[in-house]
């Protein structure tokens, strides 16, 4: 009886051990953890798309991957994002190549004043151009996805209806946008977006040039009651990149999920933020009686004729680096035409 009891105990122990091993190696337990850093506040669209990507990856891998997100610069900031991801401070990071003038010449083609109609078109063109030319400055990363903000327009304390209205007028812009404003005659002032509310209150700037969702997200409608909405001066490009060693260590099925999500994420982000602009402008008009103006085609043509030297300089500078700038711009133009037909609004 004693031996029989010992045998039963041993069998029970083995069964329990085997069940435990199965449980521990199930997908739900064998999680791959990824950290994802972002720099703007959590409610803004770059962080909204981050949370959507996290949800999709976790769902599509059936819980095999767990993504921890860090919005608002809590892990890495915009300017140290690339170096931080390369060093492994975060596995994944989102930042703006537009914030690094001259360092991302292929991406900069998208940021030129090309009259992008919406974020969907610009985001898909950006992703395609990066996938085609595979910029060497991004070689140390795995590119997860690319997207842009909606086209930048003017939010101001007075109506801006002509080039003459812009002359000497203090407007905030960043990156390529500051160069565009200078060419147009505005007194461009560079500063982080988070500093703009105080600058508006103190009169340091009289407005800004950016995509219009910030009218609601940052409550700029309280100070800038006039919007010139159809000049579409530029977009700001965003890159989501992963540490190369972390990427290479992932199993093939997880890599496929992430690759399959790349284009889908660009489209989703463009659609989300384009819709958010419409929502933000309706809110601004209703809450603060914001006035919206559209320039005539003739006036817009005046603005873009002034900006042409910027594109000419881009071609000269980028070709001096040994890159096919004209071919890149031709591809960008074709992609803009192609996706504008697919996503006209």
Over 50: is that where the pLDDT of 9 sits?
no
Stretch 144-157: mean pLDDT, rounded? 98
% of the chain exceeding 90 in pLDDT: 86
| pLDDT, position 116 | 98
Q: What are phi and psi of 197, to 5 degrees?
A: -55, -45
Select from 270, 266, 233 the least CA-distant residue to 120: 270
Rounded to an integer, what distance in angstroms lies between the CA atom of residue 276 and that of residue 215? 10
- Residue 251 φ/ψ, nearest 5 degrees: -70, 155
Quick: pLDDT tens for 128-141. Answer: 999 999 999 999 99
* Choice among 19-23, 54-58, 70-74, 145-149 with the minimum mean pLDDT: 19-23
CB 286 within 8 A of CB 97: no
32-75: per-residue pLDDT in tens?
Answer: 999 999 999 999 999 999 999 999 999 999 999 999 999 999 99
Q: Which of 143, 197, 142 has the alpha carbon at shortest distance from 172?
A: 197
Instruction: Determine the pLDDT at residue 23.
Output: 41
pLDDT of residue 28: 45
159-204 pLDDT, tens digit per residue, is: 999 999 999 999 998 778 899 999 999 999 988 787 899 999 999 9
Q: What is the average pLDDT value for the chain, to the nearest integer?
A: 92
Alpha-carbon span 257 to 23, nearest angstrom: 24
Mean pLDDT lowest among 25-29, 32-36, 83-87: 25-29
Do 180 and 307 touch, CB atoms closer than 8 A? yes
Average pLDDT over residues 11-29: 45
Instruction: Reply yes or no on whether the pLDDT at 251 is more than 70.
Output: yes
Q: If pLDDT is split at 50, 70 and 90, which confidence band does 87 have?
A: very high
| pLDDT at residue 99, rounded to an integer | 86
Q: Residue 54 and residue 123: Cα distance in Å, rounded?
A: 19
Q: Where are the alpha helices (DSSP H) in the chain?
A: 2-24, 45-60, 81-87, 105-111, 119-133, 163-166, 176-184, 196-202, 214-217, 244-249, 252-288, 297-320, 325-342
pLDDT at 18 over 80: no
pLDDT band at 17 (very low <50, low <70, confident <90, very high): very low
11, pLDDT greater than 70: no
If you search the block for the tokens 């002034």, which residue do you land on?
306
User: For position 30, what pLDDT does the model report?
Assistant: 56
């Amino acid at each position: 009886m004693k031996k029989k009891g010992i045998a039963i105990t041993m069998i029970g122990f083995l069964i329990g051990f085997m069940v435990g091993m199965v449980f521990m190696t199930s997908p739900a337990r064998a999680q791959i953890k990824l950290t994802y850093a972002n720099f703007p506040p959590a409610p803004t669209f770059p962080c909204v798309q981050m949370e959507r990507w996290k949800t999709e990856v976790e769902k599509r891998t059936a819980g095999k991957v767990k993504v921890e997100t860090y919005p608002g610069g809590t892990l890495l900031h915009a300017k140290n994002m690339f170096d931080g991801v390369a060093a492994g401070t975060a596995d994944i990071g989102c930042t703006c190549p537009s914030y690094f003038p001259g360092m991302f010449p292929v991406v900069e083609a998208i940021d030129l004043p090309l009259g992008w109609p919406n974020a969907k078109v610009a985001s898909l063109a950006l992703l395609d151009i990066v996938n085609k030319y595979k910029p060497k400055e991004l070689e140390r990363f795995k590119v997860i996805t690319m997207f842009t903000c909606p086209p930048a327009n003017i939010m101001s304390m007075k109506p801006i209806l002509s080039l003459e209205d812009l002359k000497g007028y203090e407007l905030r812009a960043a990156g390529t946008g500051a160069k565009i404003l200078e060419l147009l005659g505005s007194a461009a002032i560079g500063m982080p977006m988070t500093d703009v509310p105080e600058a508006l209150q103190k009169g340091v700037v009289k407005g800004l040039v950016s995509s219009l969702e910030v009218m609601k997200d940052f409550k700029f409608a309280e100070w800038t009651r006039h919007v010139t909405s159809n000049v579409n001066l530029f977009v700001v490009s965003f890159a989501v990149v992963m540490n190369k060693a972390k990427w290479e260590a992932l199993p093939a099925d997880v890599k496929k999920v992430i690759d399959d999500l790349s284009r889908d994420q660009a489209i989703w982000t463009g659609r989300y933020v384009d819709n958010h602009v419409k929502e933000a402008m309706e809110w601004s008009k209703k809450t603060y009686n914001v006035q919206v103006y559209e320039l005539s085609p003739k006036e817009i043509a005046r603005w873009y004729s002034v900006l042409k030297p910027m594109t000419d300089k881009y071609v000269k500078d980028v070709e001096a680096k040994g890159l096919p700038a004209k071919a890149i711009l031709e591809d960008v133009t074709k992609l803009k035409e192609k996706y504008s037909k697919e996503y006209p609004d």
